[in-house]
Copies of this chain bind each other. A is one copy, B any other.
């Protein structure tokens, strides 16, 4: 057998082949394989066996062409390397994969020209719907209302309220984080967070302030906005301790920041969590599980965001009542060693 002439070259079995082998017409073969009722059991059996023998796989292209539905969706992401897109993508893939939907993955790399290109290509392939995953929770431009298929935005909401967007509830995230710290008996809580240009940073700070206000308290100092990095966590902590040595909890805008904060606390002789409790956001395993002690963090349930987006899209494709607006999903606190009740 020559290298190029394996079974690879043998014409893939088609329904006609199956029908011929089973001694029936293609129509009957089709009905037999699809569980239609107008086929005698014995005939169906023959067809099924023939299909088996030829390892027949119905051509989804032909099927999609006929049905007008392809059973495919496009997943448009702006940054794959960012860590937020992945869990969402997993959740969506999971929700679809359970059914019989296949996912086209496209990375626009944050470039709207590329994005437009991908949208056109996906429409050419007649996807049944689109999920758009952003890298930040700040609103992003809508793909427009003129698309021939439903679209769901995940993580980054569309700026058009007529679109449906699924996002984590960052305000509530800030609130539950503070509530956890209050539950631990902390009252002198500082907030060190990232780039104020990010809505997520502002939302979380707002939620944190609101929860404190509900308890008749306030943040120690204003929230310190900076960068989403360990370095900023370290720098801000040094400043914080100089001005407020009596702080008993630091809520950090990200796990990276929290790592920097914990490093400096340790260097300054503050024990975590005995003297100062520390919390992060994102629940990024590589960071939370490597720190000493393990880091308590707020998980944004991104996988669930992905799943919810997939389900919403599914519903829209099936023709359910169209939803719109920004729907938020709750976050959850994952408690580890860096927070504990004051003893």
Contacts and interface: CB of A to CB of B under 8 A. Distances in A.
Contacts of A123: 57
Given A147-B8, A290-B256, A124 B87 contact: no
Interface in A47-68: 57-62, 64-65
B81 A90 contact: yes
Interface residues of A, number: 67
A290 B290 CA distance: 13
Given A8-B150, A97-B107, A319-B4, A102 B125 contact: yes
Given A93-B107, A103-B104, A107-B93, A148 B8 contact: yes
A154 B73 CA distance: 25
A59 B124 contact: yes
A222 B319 CA distance: 64
Nearest to A146: B7
Interface in A73-102: 75, 80-81, 83, 86-87, 89-90, 93-94, 97, 100, 102
Contacts of A4: 319, 322
Contacts of A256: 286, 290
5 contacts: A60-B124, A72-B104, A97-B107, A256-B286, A259-B290
Given A93-B107, A234-B292, 19 more contacts: A7-B148, A8-B149, A10-B148, A57-B123, A58-B124, A59-B124, A59-B126, A61-B64, A80-B86, A81-B86, A89-B105, A104-B105, A105-B105, A229-B289, A230-B290, A230-B291, A231-B290, A256-B286, A259-B290
